[in-house]
Structure 1
Amino acid sequence: MSRRRVAILISGRGSNMSALIEAAKAPDYPAEIVGVLSNRAAAPGLVTAAEHGIATASLAQSKFPNREMFEDVMTQTLEGWHVDIVCLAGFMRILGEDFVNHWAGRLINIHPSLLPHYKGLDTHARALADGATTHGCTVHFVTPGLDEGAPILQAEVPVLPGDTPDTLAERVLVAEHRIYPEALRLLASGQVAVRA
């Protein structure tokens, strides 16, 4: 079986990255994690990836004159790893249209809400403020519009009495760690694709 080569973009500890790395250890998993790239050199997830023998790189956008040059070097780094699929796992930068279009159909993200509800930030607090009874997470294809790409998988999480943004976030994260590896498996095995 030819496994698809995957890179993960992170900005922090990379808990979803760790879930993907663990899933890819299974011999029948259709993807292998070949590189982890961060926009923060101090991201703890880079240490975790290196401990698993995975190539790492860090690029600070502030070192580049503009976002386009930063993203060009990101693409060069990813292509140097011969990457087929790119997974965003807590990568805290809005990606430009050229980068997104270059990786179209091969770039996925996990978002902590049941899209199209609560695009953007502070999803848990916003769900609680609205009195939502269910919340959750979505793995979706990345498009130039913020959190607008087609969903691959979603998981619902009940909102419990007395929930705070933190307690809700903890339960949603458990669901994220479950569905992200499954969504990557579906994409890497060709069972899902973006419809043109």
Structure 2
Amino acid sequence: MQGTVRGAVERGVAVFRGIPYAAAPVGARRFRAPEPPEPWEGVRETVAFGPTAPKRPYTPPLDRLLPDPEVAGDEWLNLNVWTPSTGAGGLPVLVWIHGGSLLHGSSAVPVYDGSAFARDGVVLVSVNYRLGVEGFGLFPDAPANRGLLDQLAALEWVRDNIAAFGGDPDRVTVAGESAGRSPSRPCWRRSVRRACSGGRCSRAGRPPP
């Protein structure tokens, strides 16, 4: 990690929100593969959710089922961690990737709160990634599927940093719903394993036939 973070304890669970796992995808980086975040000095407050990627709002009835706040800012490539205790060690880790047809959604949707998992002894990580044109538009001289490359960068962050939050990098499960199941698709399995190299990274859920 590129600096020190300070979260909050909420109902007995340690929560860290908006931790950057890659540099802000703006300017020359807008259509590039994700790059490491810039280091920071001092202590970074990670209590509130970080910026959400530009996205289309959900239409009824999903707008009521999945209320999705928009958080302004450029550092869309961020993640959140819920953990029973940063002083723990060897806890299983669940990485949650939100769905939304690659056009909607964010990790700030209330139903994705990871407190219940943390109270059961699981470190939960939820991830924001580029959506729509920024994440999946095809352009000359730009890598395709940038939003999926963001997800792989987040998994690499988990591999390198989750031990500091009580998690075991050798016990990571990747899960998601709808478009968030992309890491379970056959064409991405090798890349997911590589991002989690050194540990056992499993996938929850299967793609449709």
Please, what TM-score do these two structures have when normalized by structure 2?
Answer: 0.33
- Structure number with the higher helix fraction is 1
Please, what TM-score do these two structures have when normalized by structure 1?
Answer: 0.35
